[in-house]
Amino acid sequence: MQILVLNGANLDALSRRDPSVYGGLSLNELESRIYEWAHALDLSARCRQSNSEGEFIDWIHDAYDTVDGLIVNPGAWSHYSYAIRDALELLTVPFVEVHLSNIESREEWRRHSVVADLASRRVIGKGPEGYREALEYLAGTGEE
Ligand code: DQA
């Protein structure tokens, strides 16, 4: 199974963001873990990150008929980007919405995600392990 892992705005600066909220890992370290977990689950993963909303949308469009599932952490776009929502709505494969932090116990404006109802699964507030849970879920959708 081919899995695309998309991290959005500011996730490239993960190691410089509040470690009490985001855990202090760098994006590189996070992606290395994702590749290891994917390998152990017999999944083929590709991780990408962008601070450009248009590029992020293009990658979702490209995923339409090239992957079997996606893991998407749109960062702050989660809370207001109807353009990313519209792109995700076109997918016919499952996607998992992941957030490192518990957005439901942070500022009011973070509590709403405009992509939540489209996601096959949401994993929130579990730190890097959330990506592992998302991979495990997607591996399960590929089983007969
Ligand atoms: C985030 C939560 C968002 O509110 C925030 O803007 C991010 C990261 C998370 O992974 O916890 O950039 O998506």
Domains of the chain with CATH codes: 2-139 (3.40.50.9100)
Cut 0.75: pTM above it: yes
Residue 126 makes CB contacts below 8 A (sequence gap 6+) with 100, 133
Testing ligand 1's pocket by substitution, the residue of 56, 73, 112 carrying the most ligand atoms inside 8 A of its CB is 73
d(CA 89, CA 99): 19
pLDDT tens for the chain, residues 1 to 144: 999 999 999 999 999 998 989 989 999 999 999 999 999 999 999 999 999 999 999 999 999 999 999 999 999 999 999 999 999 999 999 999 999 999 999 999 999 999 999 999 999 999 999 999 999 999 999 886
Q: Which two tokens stand for residue 63?
A: 């995923």
Pocket-testing residue among 99, 105, 106, 133, ligand 1, by greatest number of atoms within 8 A of Cβ: 99
Residue located nearest, by CA, to atom 1 of ligand 1: 75
